Amino acid sequence: MIEYTDLTGGKVQMTFEKNQLGTDVKDILVIPYIKTGHWLMTENIVRGIEFPGGKIDPNETVEQAVVRELWEETGVHLKSEDKWTFLADYEFQDKKRGRVIKRAFLIEMATYEEAPLPEDYETSGVHLLTEAEYLQLETSSLSFYMKDAGMELLWNKAKEIIKH
């Protein structure tokens, strides 16, 4: 179990073992990697560049939320050959919702086909970035989520997985 303080000052617990924090997962995060060596990110109109993710809707499974959020935020439709890997569960306190468990996945996509984004959603575009390109971005263009210690842990774990 890893504990850290997020950028809002909140305490976060993270584990790389599924369900160690419980099974009531309320949010998801997707770290999409394309075999071309690019990471697929979305640009939230308020927060900036980040990995896709969001809340699980009522009567929706974790997996259904991943598919929906990825489509809503990037226009991507996952395919059967795309490889899903559980990365971590992490828990934090939300002012409105209380205790939240978020589940993070790495999705290795064989291909990427650009598609139009759904209208009236919270994203303004997608970014296909190598790690080097990401590191050259202005910090001000990044979502605060991307600056969090937990994101660094998750992204490092994802990079470790794709190297093997």
- Per domain, the residue ranges of the chain are 2-163
Domain 2-163 has CATH 3.50.40.10: no
What does the pLDDT read at residue 1? 92
State how beta strands 38-44 and 48-50 pair. antiparallel
- Contact predicate 13/2, CB 8 Å: yes
Q: Chain centroid to CA 133: how far?
A: 18
Alpha helices in 31-96 (DSSP H): 62-74
pLDDT for the residue numbered 90: 96
**How confident is the prediction along the chain (164 residues), in pLDDT tens digits per residue?**
999 998 888 899 999 999 999 999 999 999 999 999 999 999 988 899 999 999 999 999 999 999 999 998 998 899 999 999 999 999 999 889 999 999 999 999 988 887 777 677 778 889 999 999 998 989 899 998 999 899 999 999 999 999 88
Residue 118 makes CB contacts below 8 A (sequence gap 6+) with 71, 72, 75
Q: What are phi and psi of 101, to 5 degrees?
A: -105, 125
